[in-house]
């Protein structure tokens, strides 16, 4: 189920509820040079190896105009990760950390995210640098990097909203 | 189903496959000041209103040590978005764009991501700034911002890997 198979005594697994709150459709898969978890980089780098994001039908048309953006955010499904650890220990030792304080692939919803450089657009595929996942990892989303993106369409009232009220306290 | 109800003639909907490739569990919900899509900011801002990320059991223990990070990446499920558009037109007019060239909530897997500032840690909850979603949006993941994160544990061989080979071409 996972690259890290056994929880040690500092780690904690929970009885996770069934993952039935929403369903994902895989929109494609990532072709990368890495065939085992231990070979993968722990985080992608912008000068990393060229990888191909292959998009399945009926989604290829959703790539139209993507060349406008030189950096993209990619979400993928870490399909070999266990999902029930709330505390995890680094392999090299050290204090156990909460799963939400880690970017480990082991998490309740094992979604990885990378910021990648778009190198080329092919028919139904993208060549990118910056991935860090196993070859044939399923893709779930691609979108422009937030820093490069200006929303289209008219402004919303919330766009410039800052403090919730004069006290700075939540209003909900 | 969506804040944008009708596709105009420049938009394109597809017969989307059933979203049955993987299942999500909601780990909590976001409390925000926004009750309608038109009120939401189109993108969060670091000085935006204070919002609360409320974590469900059995996941609250996964928040341990999260105060180490002043910025977090939050993934949430845009539960009111349609999922079948591959081309979308800005409401104000303009060329239709591919869904993967937009950060619109309308996408095959309607996952939103924000980078938020962590303001305070409460019992089973986080106070943050930088969200942009409706009140009561389900949460699916929280992790440290990639720019602040140093992976724990020993290095992997791929960490420093750059070109795939001398030609710079993919090796898969």
ipTM: 0.90
Q: How confident is the model at residue B2, as a pLDDT?
A: 45
Q: Which domains does chain A carry?
A: 28-76+112-144 (2.40.30.70)
Q: For B61, which of A87, A94, A135 is closest by C-beta distance?
A: A87
Distance CA A27, CA A143 (A): 13
A45 is written with which tokens? 């780098």
Q: Are B33 and A171 an interchain contact pair (Cβ–Cβ within 8 Å)?
A: yes
CA distance A2 to chain B (A): 16
Report the helix count and the strand count for chain A, using DSSP H and E. 0, 10
Which residue of chain B has the CA closest to A26? B21
Distance CA A54, CA B82 (A): 23
Q: What are phi and psi of B60, to 5 degrees?
A: -60, -35
Residues of B within 8 A of A8 (CB-CB) are none
Weakest-pLDDT range from A46-50, A103-107, A128-132, A149-153: A149-153
Q: How confident is the model at residue B163, as a pLDDT?
A: 64
Residue A165 has pLDDT above 70, yes or no: no
Q: Are B172 and A68 an interchain contact pair (Cβ–Cβ within 8 Å)?
A: no
Q: How confident is the model at residue B43, as a pLDDT?
A: 87
Distance CA A111, CA A103 (A): 10
- Region A22-34: what's the mean pLDDT? 97
pLDDT tens string B51-95: 999 999 999 999 999 999 999 999 999 988 999 999 998 776 778
Among A134, A125, A86, A128, residue whose Cα is nearest residue A108: A86
pLDDT band at A98 (very low <50, low <70, confident <90, very high): very high
Q: How confident is the model at residue A154, as a pLDDT?
A: 75
Is residue B140 a contact partner of residue A78, using CB atoms and an 8 Å limit? no
Q: How confident is the model at residue B68, as a pLDDT?
A: 95
């Amino acid at each position: 189920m996972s690259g890290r198979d056994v929880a040690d005594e500092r780690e904690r697994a929970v009885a996770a509820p069934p993952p039935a709150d929403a369903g994902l459709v895989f929109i494609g898969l990532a072709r990368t040079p890495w065939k085992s978890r231990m070979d993968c980089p722990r985080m992608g780098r912008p000068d990393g190896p060229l990888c191909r994001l292959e998009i399945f039908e009926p989604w290829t048309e959703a790539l139209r105009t993507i060349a406008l953006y030189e950096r993209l955010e990619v979400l993928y499904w870490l399909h070999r990760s266990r999902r029930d650890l709330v505390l995890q220990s680094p392999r090299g030792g050290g204090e156990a950390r909460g799963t939400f304080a880690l970017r480990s692939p082991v998490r309740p919803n094992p979604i990885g995210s990378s910021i990648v450089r778009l190198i080329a657009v092919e028919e139904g595929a993208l060549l990118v640098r910056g991935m860090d996942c196993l070859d044939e990892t399923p893709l779930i989303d691609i979108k422009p990097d937030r820093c490069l993106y200006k929303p289209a369409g008219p402004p919303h009232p919330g766009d410039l909203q800052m403090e919730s009220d004069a006290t700075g306290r939540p209003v909900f």
